[in-house]
Amino acid sequence: MIKNIYNLGDAALYCDFGERVDKDTNLKVINYFNDIREKKITGIKNIAPSYNKLIIYFDLELTNYKKIKDTVENLDISTFDETKTKLVMIPVCFDDEFALDLERVEKRVGLGKKEIVNQLISQKYFCYMTGFIAGMPFLGDIKEKIRLDRLETPRVKVPKGSVGITEQFCNIYTFESPGGWNIIGNSPKKIFTKDQTKLTLIDPGDEVEFFEISKKEYSKFNE
């Protein structure tokens, strides 16, 4: 299942699952991630799953690249357990105040605001990974009609809660952060919870669906 394993520096294993970025490849990554976590292998300190890669960090005082590579290559990996995933509903306000890049998106994809919003909220999304900033979900795949490149010059500060699209993906900026995605709305929902037993609402493998709320509902959301 893993195509190639390399070392990333002296304290991490870089597992490559192939070039493709799709749900099938990503589910393999998530399977490995879940299994390795459950097996609690000595010396492994952290695991970062992404679209088609899995990076495993280990403690160089306890183990080394060769040992962890041997272990990972000989793992018996179970298949993806769909029952462990959930559907998460996320409210989004598309008011002009929040839709910072709406004009750009309209111009690039040749659709009006209403149609762009409808395209975005008319389906469920798969969560490929979370990260960059705490809890940020990378969701896909969005309809071909509303796909476009990221901004030429990234923003220094994207407001917290911003909902952005780029290429085949959409995401939610869980914190204020630099970023280059096209921002078309904002969600008042707290996605990174700081509840130590359950830090995020959305985990890799979960499904996410957006629903539209008005500005009034948005401002009342956290009251």
Partner 1 sequence: MSKNSFKVLRPGINTTFQDLGRDNLYHVGLPFSGAIDKRNFLIANSLITNKDDDAVLEFAYQGPLLEFSGSQTSIVITGNVNFKIIKKDTSEIKGECYRTYNLNNKDCLDIISTEKSVYGYLSVKGGFQINKFCNSYSTTVRAEVGPNDGKKIEIGQTIILNTVNSAIEKSLEYLNSKIEFIRVIKGTNFDYFSEDSIKDFTSKDFIVSKLTDRMGMRLSGPKIKNLKKTNIKSEGLGKGVIQVPADGDPIVMLSDHGTIGGYPKIAVVISADYDKLAQCPPGEKIKFKIVNLTEAENLYKIYTMETKNIINKIR
Q: By the criterion CB under 8 A, which residues form the site for partner 1? A: 6-12, 14, 21, 33, 37, 45-55, 57, 60-61, 64-65, 129-136, 138, 174-175, 177, 192, 194, 196, 199-200, 204
For partner 1, which is the closer residue by CB, 135 or 185? 135
Question: What beta strand segments (E) does the chain contain?
Answer: 4-7, 12-16, 44-49, 53-58, 87-93, 125-130, 137-140, 155-158, 162-166, 169-172, 177-179, 182-186, 192-195, 198-200, 207-213
What's the min distance (Å) between Cβ of 105 and partner 1? Answer: 20
DSSP 218: H
In whole angstroms, give the CA distance from residue 8 to residue 10.
6
Per the document, the length of the chain is 223
What's the min distance (Å) between Cβ of 112 and partner 1? Answer: 29
For partner 1, which is the closer residue by CB, 27 or 117? 27
What's the min distance (Å) between Cβ of 163 and partner 1? Answer: 17
What's the min distance (Å) between Cβ of 114 and partner 1? Answer: 30
Amino acid identity at 196 = Q
